[in-house]
Amino acid sequence: MSSEVETSLAGECRNPNDQCRNNDERRDKEQLNATLELRASFVIRHSCFVIFTLPSAVRYLVKARVKLGKDRALVQAIDERVLGRGSIAGDEYLHNMEQARVTENGVPQWVETCFCDPPLSEERPYWEEYFDLLSVKDAHLRRNCRHENGTEPWACCNCDCTQKLEEKLRTRGMSFLNTLRLEKSDF
């Protein structure tokens, strides 16, 4: 990579020997870089920037069982909108719980969009506070994914397959949150 490209990508460095402008800026960049690097499949490092290539989003069907005695805490975390707080996935945890359905054998399941390899490596600690994860499987055939099969690079950025998968899931079973609240009517 030429130094012209490095300079334009860095935006903060005039040459490879320059330091970032201030400690706050450097700390913010280091935090962002550390978070993104967890998801990166390819990394290029420079004195003041890191270039990442993130893997495409993959949709997983997650099946889990609420841990014994954790149902009240789970409902509280959802109601207070703190489920997943601190995770780069943000409000995705709340969305997943709103979309989750209960199978005929009482197991909650939801569609999870994840960039991690291995799957759910970012999300797992947040889920495992409340759930025993029973299975995490591809929610659709990767050969049908336009990004994965090479027919449309970056197709996942504007893809509606998560919505379609959630709509399909909605036709099965009952709402997990409604079921959880009904079973524990003292919430």
Question: In Å, how far are 45, 49, 110 from 135, measured between CA atoms?
Answer: 35, 37, 11
Cα separation, 135 vs 22, in Å, equals 45
Cα separation, 117 vs 5, in Å, equals 29
The residues, any chain, with a CB within 8 Å of residue 87's CB and separated by 6 or more, are 93, 122, 123, 126
> Which one-letter DSSP state was computed for residue 128?
H
What are the residue ranges of helices labelled H in the chain?
3-10, 23-39, 71-79, 92-99, 124-128, 161-170, 176-183
Predicted local confidence at residue 113, as pLDDT: 80
Predicted local confidence at residue 46, as pLDDT: 53
**Other beta carbons less than 10 A from residue 125's beta carbon:** 11
Predicted local confidence at residue 102, as pLDDT: 94
Q: List the one residue out of 100, 148, 99, 96 whose CA is nearest residue 123.
A: 96
Residues of the chain with pLDDT under 70: 1-57, 154-158, 184-187
CB 124, CB 21: distance < 8 Å: no
Residue position matching structure tokens 């799957």: 119
Predicted local confidence at residue 133, as pLDDT: 96
Predicted local confidence at residue 88, as pLDDT: 86
Predicted local confidence at residue 41, as pLDDT: 45
Predicted local confidence at residue 90, as pLDDT: 82
Predicted local confidence at residue 137, as pLDDT: 87
CB 81, CB 92: distance < 8 Å: no
Residue 133, SS3 per DSSP: strand
The pTM score is 0.63
Predicted local confidence at residue 18, as pLDDT: 43
Residue 58, SS3 per DSSP: strand
Predicted local confidence at residue 77, as pLDDT: 96
Predicted local confidence at residue 96, as pLDDT: 92
